[in-house]
Amino acid sequence: MHLSKKERSLSEAEELYREMLGRNIFPDTITYNSLIDGFCKHSRLDDAKHIFYLMVSKGCSPNVITINTLIGGCCRAKRVDDGMKLLHEMSRRGLVPDSVSYNTLIHWFCQAGDLNAAQDLFQEMNSHGVSPDIVTCNTLLGGLCENGNLEKALEMFKVFQKSKMDLDTATYNIIINGMCKGNKVDKAWDLFNSLPLNGVERDVQTYNIMISGLVKVGNFLSAEELYAGMLRSGIVRNSVTYNSMVDGFCKQNRLEEARQMVDSMASEGCSPDVVTFNTLVNGFCKARRVDDGLELFSEMSRRGIVANTVTYSTLIHGFCQVGDLNGALDIFQEMVSSGVCPDTITFHSMLAGLCSKEELQKAMAMLEDLQKSGHGSSIGG
């Protein structure tokens, strides 16, 4: 059986542990913590817990690191309730939870979308005299923004601003991103422009978020100015920057400039990816220039970029829009033969195209295949 380097390390650690016992050398807390950490990182939570109970039975006292490691293991195994039990068990063992204990659980509650539990833990943290740190702040603000609770995030952001905590660039990126996603691009723009005045350094992610937000609301002129300003500020643009600009040019129907943007990526050491090409293909198909979209599709293959469901669905929709049903069917067949799974959008486009050409028999046959594949309920909805 082939073992990875990390698996071999854990296996060797277990062997050393057994050797220690054989030589009557008693493991200490550090030894047990190392084993528990190894088991947790390899998703062997039950083994980690076994070592923990063995540790206690041998009279070796666990410390905060022990419990924090187990809490992390429980959370990664999606057993957050067990993590909570461990948190509340700490005081019974005479241990005081620290910011890591709370931050780990807050992170996983946010990941699960349980914002009430995350906020309750934050309140408990404060009431127990554990000071929130920048990780707590960013985790909670990120969770609230990602789950669409922007108003609460902004409320907490103001609280953090008034505290003695030094908010970092990541904090502002989270809020600016939340504002852009929450259709408050003007407020995001104001906050973005205020950062240098407040001594906060803007990084490539700050610029990318703002450019994407401006493109989203059609303020491409400001996006172009920001793009040019990155070079003046010494910010190295990356593929995310270029993808947003390509999207902006496509939305402005400035397709040749979008195409040129892809060519200029190489000058900054960036390679176009599937998102870049999907954006371009979509732009050309919307302009009813499906042959150009097909040429881009071929270029993807030449560059070694693997087309995905979005690529194929966009081309199929493009061919259907210009009434070229045979072209759409050819792409659909290539999609299936390439092992790329069609989704509901793919089938919607194909069915609409078949029906518009009065190919009802083919449409019915495809609908039957769709129902057999389990997509039928989505179409019905």
The answer on 259 and 234 residing in a single domain is yes
Tell me the pLDDT band of 364, cut-offs 50, 70 and 90.
low
Residue 44 belongs to some domain of the structure: yes
| Domain-ending residue, one of 241, 269, 297 | 269
Per residue in 215-267, pLDDT (tens digit) is: 999 999 999 999 999 988 999 999 999 999 999 999 999 999 999 998 888 88
Four-point Cα dihedral 112, 117, 118, 122, nearest 10 = -170
Residue 95 belongs to some domain of the structure: no
pLDDT at 164 over 90: no
Question: Who wins on pLDDT, 161 or 24?
Answer: 161
- Which tokens sit at 158? 């103001």
Least confident among 82-86, 118-122, 162-166, 298-302: 162-166
| Domain-ending residue, one of 269, 286, 319 | 269
Distances in Å between the Cα of 99 and the Cα atoms of 160, 187, 232, 255 are 16, 32, 39, 50
The answer on 294 and 243 residing in a single domain is no
Find all residues with CB under 8 Å of 306, minimum gap 6, and list them: 274, 300
The answer on 213 and 250 residing in a single domain is yes
Residue keyed to tokens 């309730």: 81
The answer on 278 and 370 residing in a single domain is yes
| Domain-ending residue, one of 269, 286, 318 | 269
- How many structural domains does the chain have? 3
Q: What range defines the domain where residue 7 resides?
A: 1-90+101-110
Q: What is the mean pLDDT of the chain?
A: 88
Find all residues with CB under 8 Å of 249, minimum gap 6, and list them: 220, 255, 257, 258, 261, 283
**Which amino acid would we find at residue 267?**
S
The answer on 227 and 299 residing in a single domain is no
The answer on 369 and 296 residing in a single domain is yes
Tell me the pLDDT band of 362, cut-offs 50, 70 and 90.
low
3-class state of residue 127 by DSSP: helix
Looking at residue 346, its pLDDT comes to 83
Residue 11 belongs to some domain of the structure: yes
Calculate what percentage of the chain has a pLDDT beyond 90. 67
Distances in Å between the Cα of 194 and the Cα atoms of 175, 200, 272 are 13, 9, 32
Residue 340 belongs to some domain of the structure: yes
The answer on 323 and 303 residing in a single domain is yes
Residue 33 belongs to some domain of the structure: yes
Per residue in 9-39, pLDDT (tens digit) is: 555 655 655 655 555 656 789 888 988 998 8
Pairwise CA distance, residues 342 & 302, whole Å: 23
The answer on 296 and 235 residing in a single domain is no
Pairwise CA distance, residues 221 & 228, whole Å: 11
Pairwise CA distance, residues 218 & 311, whole Å: 24
DSSP secondary structure code for residue 373 in this structure: T
The answer on 277 and 248 residing in a single domain is no
Residue 193 belongs to some domain of the structure: no
Residue 208 belongs to some domain of the structure: yes
The answer on 350 and 264 residing in a single domain is no
pLDDT at 4 over 50: no
The answer on 242 and 180 residing in a single domain is yes
CB 342: neighbour CB atoms within 10 A? Answer: 21
Residue 260 belongs to some domain of the structure: yes
**Which of 283, 365, 354 has its CA nearest to residue 323?**
354
The answer on 314 and 254 residing in a single domain is no
Residue 319 contacts residue 327 (beta carbons within 8 Å): yes
Least confident among 51-60, 186-195, 365-374: 365-374
